[in-house]
Every structure is written in structure tokens, then in C-alpha cells.
């Protein structure tokens, strides 16, 4: 029963990680100021960062990480079969993330550089989870925004509409009265990247690398022209666009 006296059935939720750093799960677990109230809505059935309990009956699955091995594919499909709602949780799950950098190189070279002669069972490429299962909702970010995760999970619990910001990071950057990094001679993906992060990187004088993927209705051609007009490097632009694997369709189209 909530503070207004209404009965709210607790949602059974599981959080699962694949190839990732688990930073997105830690973002939620470290939300100490509001975590007790947030968890009051939930029945945690499987969430390694919060509880040692492991139960397989859950309604919502938060899935973090990209898919890089065949056993991960089978595990992901089993999670999807159990969950009524599956949420791609973080940039790796949504787009492939930084892990997709390995896709540019021969698999054997990547393994040898990191693991030497050890035998590693890994797929040729890093995949977003929607390559294998249906995703109901996506929460991008590297890491995810704590407040956004809470809002979306609460919206699922209360059956309220769910939507990510449609506008680009530049909007939030201007709201914070930041100096545009393009004016400082930097290639920043803020004009084409989805907002919702409160422009945390540009506010720290670090360029946006598009971890939340493209905003709705972006003018990609105009962005490329902006880079050229500023006499900045298009090679650097393409490298940043490929960093999180979120702009693949634009890079492929350009190529």
C-alpha cells in the first residue's frame, strides 16, 4: 500500500548482465537517496548488485550488456520467454556499445591481444540484444541516467506512458548555458544525439560521443556540413560516430 492508501501490486523484476562492465546496474544500486522508496515498488527476484537471492519468476527483465557468445544468445532467449516486459538497459544492450569496437578487427587478433593463448568462446561480433529478441523498452546511456530508469520503471509499474526525449543533447547543453564545444574546435555529437543525460559530458568540457544514440528527426547531412564548415576532421567525426555503435545506419548510408 502506498502513502496515499492505494494498493499497488509489487512488480517482480530481474536484472541480468551479459558482456558489459555492470556499470548501469551499479548506477541504480547506488541511488541511495531514493533507492528505498523505489525498491518499495518492486519485488527483486534476481539482481546481483542488490540481492544474493536468485529466483526465476519475474515479470520485468532489465538486460544490460551486449551479446558476444552463443551461450549468451540462449540465456537471453530464456529470459525473454519468462519476462512479460524486457528492457534493454544501457548503451551496450541498446546498440552494442563500446564492445562493438571489436567488430572492426579480426576476432583472433582481439583475443590474442587481451587473452594471449587462452581459448575464449566468443562470437565474431558484439550485438545489441534486439538482434536476437524483441525489446519492449530501451533505456540508453553509458551509464544510464538513474532518474530516467526510476521514472520508466515506475511508469511500467503504474501503467503510465513511457517516452524518451526526442530532442538532441544541444537543447540541454544550452539550458545549462554551456559554451558550444564546436566553438572551441571540437567535434561534438550533441546536435544529433538523444537528450536525457542533462548534457553531463559537454558540461564537463568533454564532447558528446552519442551514447544515447540518435535523437528523433536529426538532420545528419546538416551535421556533416557543420563539421566541414568549422574545418574540423570528418575522420574524427566518423570515429566518434562509431564509438558506441549507435549511428551505424548513418555511417553505412554515408559509406
Q: Which of 123, 158, 193 is the last residue of a domain?
A: 158
DSSP string, 158-175: HT-------SBHHHHHHH
141: Cβ–Cβ under 8 A, 6 or more apart, which residues? 24, 90, 91, 148, 196, 197, 211, 212
Question: Nearest Cα to 109, choosing from 120, 97, 96?
Answer: 120
For the stretch 14-56, pLDDT in tens is 999 999 998 888 888 776 777 777 777 788 898 888 778 788 8
For the stretch 199-211, pLDDT in tens is 999 999 999 999 9
Q: Is residue 70 part of a domain?
A: yes
Q: Is residue 5 part of a domain?
A: no
| Domain identity same for 32 and 113 | yes
231: Cβ–Cβ under 8 A, 6 or more apart, which residues? none
| Domain identity same for 24 and 149 | yes
Range scoring the smallest mean pLDDT among 53-67, 112-126, 163-177: 112-126
In which band, very low, low, confident or very high, does the pLDDT at 254 lie, cut at 50, 70 and 90? low
Q: Which of 138, 158, 178 is the last residue of a domain?
A: 158
Q: What strands lie across the sheet with 60-64, from one edge to the other?
A: 42-47, 11-17, 60-64, 85-89, 137-139
Give the residues across from 17 on adjacent strands: 64
CA angle 199, 200, 206 (to 5 degrees): 100
Full residue range of the structural domain in which residue 194 is found: 169-254
| Domain identity same for 41 and 143 | yes
Q: Are 75 and 83 in contact (CB under 8 A)?
A: no
CA–CA gap between residue 218 and residue 136 (Å, rounded): 23
Mean pLDDT across 158-178? 93
Q: What is the CATH number of the domain that holds 70?
A: 3.40.50.700
Supply the mean pLDDT for the chain.
Answer: 88
Amino acid at each position: 500500500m502506498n502513502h496515499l492508501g492505494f494498493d499497488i501490486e509489487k512488480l517482480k523484476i530481474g536484472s541480468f548482465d551479459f558482456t558489459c562492465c555492470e556499470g548501469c546496474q551499479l548506477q541504480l544500486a547506488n541511488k541511495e537517496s531514493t533507492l528505498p522508496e523505489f525498491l518499495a515498488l518492486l519485488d527483486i527476484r534476481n539482481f546481483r548488485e542488490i540481492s544474493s537471492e536468485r529466483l526465476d519468476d519475474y515479470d520485468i527483465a532489465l538486460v544490460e550488456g551486449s551479446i558476444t557468445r552463443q551461450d549468451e544468445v540462449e540465456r537471453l532467449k530464456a529470459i525473454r520467454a519468462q519476462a512479460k516486459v524486457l528492457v534493454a538497459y544501457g548503451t551496450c544492450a541498446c546498440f552494442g556499445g563500446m564492445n562493438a569496437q571489436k567488430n572492426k578487427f579480426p576476432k583472433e587478433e582481439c583475443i590474442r591481444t587481451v587473452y594471449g593463448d587462452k581459448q575464449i568462446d566468443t562470437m565474431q561480433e558484439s550485438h545489441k540484444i534486439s538482434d536476437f529478441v524483441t525489446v519492449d523498452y530501451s533505456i540508453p546511456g553509458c551509464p544510464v541516467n538513474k532518474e530516467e530508469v526510476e521514472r520508466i520503471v515506475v511508469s511500467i509499474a503504474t501503467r503510465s506512458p513511457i517516452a524518451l526525449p526526442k530532442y538532441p543533447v544541444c537543447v540541454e547543453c544550452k539550458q545549462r548555458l554551456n559554451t558550444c564545444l564546436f566553438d572551441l574546435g571540437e567535434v561534438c555529437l550533441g546536435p544529433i544525439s538523444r537528450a536525457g543525460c542533462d548534457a553531463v559530458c559537454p558540461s564537463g568540457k568533454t564532447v558528446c560521443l552519442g551514447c544515447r544514440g540518435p535523437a528523433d528527426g536529426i538532420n545528419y547531412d546538416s551535421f556533416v556540413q557543420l563539421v566541414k564548415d568549422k574545418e574540423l576532421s570528418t575522420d574524427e567525426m566518423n570515429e566518434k560516430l562509431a564509438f558506441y555503435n549507435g549511428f551505424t545506419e548513418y555511417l553505412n548510408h554515408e559509406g
